[in-house]
Structure 1
Amino acid sequence: MAGSPLSLCVSNTHIHTLYPSAAPTQIVNLQNLRKEKSRNAARSRRGKENFEFFELAKMLPLPGAITSQLDKASVIRLTISYLHMRTFASQGDPPWSPLLEGDSNCSKGEQETGNHLKRKSLDGFVFVVSQEGRFLYISETVSIYLGLSQVELTGSSVFDYIHPADHVEMAERLGIRPHLRAEAGCHTAPESASSSASTSSLAGTPEPAPSSPHSPADDPPERGFFIRMKSTLTKRGLHVKSSGYKVIHVTGRIRCRPALVPGSTRSVRRPMGLVALAHTLPPSTLNEVRMESHMFVFRVNMDLQVTYCENR
């Protein structure tokens, strides 16, 4: 350890060996000089590293006000997600080309799909999930409906943000094989909030399901289902943030890529992930109910557990 009596003794002996006639003051000065050079070298390394992360953050397709405040872990996570999204766009069938104004390479179908997504996302949000269950992209409007940020969700596991009871449903829609669902954080039964928070993260990277007569690659690509996603929106009148869930209606398609079967010339379609639109269900407008003598009131939570019931 630096500064310990042993290291100081060895250092002094080494200096006396090199400079037999050196005075104690000179020895201290040499030690301080060595420490200063070490600090300068470490400061230089940190400066170069910060510069590389700064340059990398500027290349991300995000506003400068956001990239300038990202930490190093977020820069790496977002960069990996962006690279995966490029692969998702280019290797899928059909490949997506940039929808630039006056771009003659854009097909009419791509332009119509892009315009359709823009219109539909006005009252919801768009997201792309890889087959391993990670958000490759999610639109900024997610903050309006769930209170979660685009930067926070991008690159994270979708299973960290949906209700534990809906993990199996999401895994089935993505085509994750049953024996790999535990690695993706899927639970077959609802658990407490503390246990689900520690086990819902994506522990591994599930492999795509192989093409077979009953594989998800042969299923219709359209998807439509309901899940419960976390919401941190402030409840009106309470002025506190709730860690509850909102029911989301998801509609989309599984994006596939062509691939050759090993040892054969036959081509199959491998699922790459899900491109979807999400709409939150509107809140109930029912404020008053006429109570008859044979009726009673009770309240349940999202797990359908009774939290309140009238005495009658």
Structure 2
Amino acid sequence: PVLSPGPEGKVDSEARKTDPLAEPWFLKALEGFLLVVSADGDMVFLSENIHEYLGIPQMDLMGHSIYEFSHPCDHDEIKDILSLKTQLPPTIPRSFFLRMKCTITSKGRNVNLKSATYKVIHCTGHLLSSPAMIFKQEEISDYSSDTNNNSSSTTIVQQRQQHCLVAIGEPIPHPSNIEIPLDKQTFLSKHSLDMKFTYADDKIGDFLGYSPEDLVGKSMYEYHHAMDNTAIEKGFKN
């Protein structure tokens, strides 16, 4: 169940006891925030801890369009995902990056929404479909004359299936402003404009087997698989 705010915008204490999303340990385990976005782009639910990552309160975001708080360059990709235009079947997990407005400065202070910058969010989740809703539409036509009266009725039945995106949003630390250590599943590398390694941390050896000295000065294009060309090209365009 989704928590519903009371008349004063506060969540009932009894609901907190039964809803796992209200438990602090659950939100901390996410390492991010939960978001549910409708097919039209409306943010129908966000976990309460989103303000820790974006500086914007939960209730200021819910009900608003995700397009109001995301970077314009990401809108086309979001629309493709929500409209099922991607070639992936709905059962395949979705993984994508988008930039959302953030009012938290590098010093931890909050600024006005008009002065917000963008923070990169890695979203992973699924598209979920609701049961098909049946809509009936009746068309009635009457015909009358001096000799006979005829009437006919036609019923048109339509089925519409709604869907939404349920995902976890994990903020990506900016390489030039990492104030907290990266987790054990992440390594950091820096590149010049021609994608040559200028820096790689020691953890890269745990994942790829290379030492930083093996990579610095060499191009990333020497190491990626040819089938990833499209994904890399798309990343540059974004």
TM-score scaled by length of structure 2: 0.50
> Rg larger in 1 or in 2?
1
Structure with the bigger percentage of strand: 2
TM-score for the superposition, normalised by structure 1: 0.39
